[in-house]
Amino acid sequence: MGKAHDASLRLGIAGLGTVGAGVVKIIQEHAEILAKRCGRAIEITAVSARDVSKDRGVDVSGYDWVDDPVALAERDDVDVVVELIGGSEGAAKDLVEKALAGGKSVVTANKALLAHHGYALAKLAEDHGISLAYEAAVAGGIPIIKAMREGFAGNDVFAVYGILNGTCNYMLTAMRETGRDFDVILKEAQEAGYAEADPTFDIDGIDAGHKLALLAAIAFGTRPDFESLQIEGIRKITAEDIAHAEELGYRIKLLGIAKRLNAQVMQVLEPCLVPLDNPIAGVEDVFNAVYVDCDSADTAMLTGRGAGEGPTASAVMADVVDLARGAKIPTFGIPADDLAVPEWMDVNDTVSAYYLRLQVLDKPGVLADISAILRDRGVSIEAVIQRCRDPHKPVPLVITTHQVRHGDIQAVCAAFCKLECVVDEPCLMRIEAL
């Protein structure tokens, strides 16, 4: 086993992908300044990854190589396990559970693991008097976990919301700037390395949903509950929707929104129309942004790169430095035993204005039929866009509404689908004034 000084904080790193290699690089390049800032050295004693021969752009030959990452939890020369494997089950979960049960603090970037098992892992950490830290799990280089657990600790938080996935934000930006549709932009994003070969977690909102579940837990003192989260991704959005939104004075963003409404919590992840004059509308490309709405500090927005080697590795090191300094904070801001089982608001009971796009046959009486359905269900129209392009083909009909209950607008959409003049499933998006 590698040699370590008694005063050092000794790390065992599991996972040497982009982020893991970035962590190694920071420790190697900034060892002296880290030691000054922490009052002790930070060193790596052992590492684990799938392929020992892979060139990762950093030299790991000076560290002990461990084939089984779970074995890092048992090493006497590892004080802190850094888990960068990913995934809610398997080796990542086994390693974190074993490390915590064995009295070793854990630093992780694994939002899926915490979204699904956060409460149990937080309790395990606190029962053993150690830390489970995860700044890198949410919004990359934006220190949002530290801000919410520490910076806003004196506040009553009413809401937390934002852009939590850089891939989706990049794609929506590219669709707006080029006028090209989803499938074309997705292929370009994959070729540029902004989207994975299997982009499901990103474009279907799962990745951002994991992050929102963690932010909601900190904001409201509740147990993370990913299973109760209402999620919709960006697959159905067209360049036409984006152009219509701009014409109406909005920009489409995939937003995670968690709000406390009386004794209930609303938690949704979905594309929304945001007014162009709202700062979050100007957050473009791969950048993330998180708003925290609270009493004493009012509203604050943090923005920055949400992924990538540098930002995410920087967030991992923020947690490592805290541990080296002796800081210890409950995983979700309050003791695990005090985390409440949340009472989630039924999304059907939420109230908002909406954007609605229909593909309709261009013939007399269509608008009258659609207006009658809206009237009969008490939905008030705010604006309509209808332009005839080709009398022989379906044309888009865009409607924005005043405030309406979500369940009622869903019933309206179901009624539209029964009309012979409506030829495709309606596209419905919330308009969020924020």
pLDDT band at 252 (very low <50, low <70, confident <90, very high): very high
Comparing 32-46, 91-105, 117-131, 193-207, the range with the smallest average pLDDT is 193-207
pLDDT tens readout for residues 6-34: 589 999 999 999 899 999 999 999 999 99
Residues taking part in catalysis: 211
Q: Which CATH architecture has domain 9-108?
A: 3-Layer(aba) Sandwich (3.40)
Domain coordinates of the chain in residue numbers? Answer: 9-108, 144-305+337-345, 348-431
pLDDT of residue 4: 40
CATH 3.20.20.210 fits 348-431, yes or no: no
Q: What Cα–Cα distance (Å) separates residue 56 from each residue in 19, 21, 117?
A: 11, 6, 30
pLDDT tens readout for residues 259-316: 998 889 999 999 999 999 999 999 999 999 999 999 988 888 899 987 788 889 999 9
**CATH tag, 144-305+337-345:** 3.30.360.10
CA angle (366, 372, 373) in 5-degree steps: 95
Q: Average pLDDT of the chain?
A: 92
pLDDT band at 5 (very low <50, low <70, confident <90, very high): very low
Phi, psi for 146 (deg, rounded to 5): -60, -40
Query: Between residues 114 and 347, which one has the greater pLDDT?
Result: 114
Span 360-370, average pLDDT: 86
Task: Kindly tell me if the per-residue pLDDT of 346 is higher than 80.
Answer: yes
Distance between CA atoms of residues 427 and 332, nearest Å: 36
pLDDT tens readout for residues 136-169: 999 888 999 999 999 999 999 999 999 999 999 9
Non-local CB neighbours of 55 within 8 Å, separated by 6+ positions: none
Non-local CB neighbours of 434 within 8 Å, separated by 6+ positions: 161, 274, 275, 278, 280, 291
Q: Which of 349, 305, 138 is nearest to 224 (CA)?
A: 138
Query: Between residues 45 and 388, which one has the greater pLDDT?
Result: 45
pTM for the model stands at 0.92
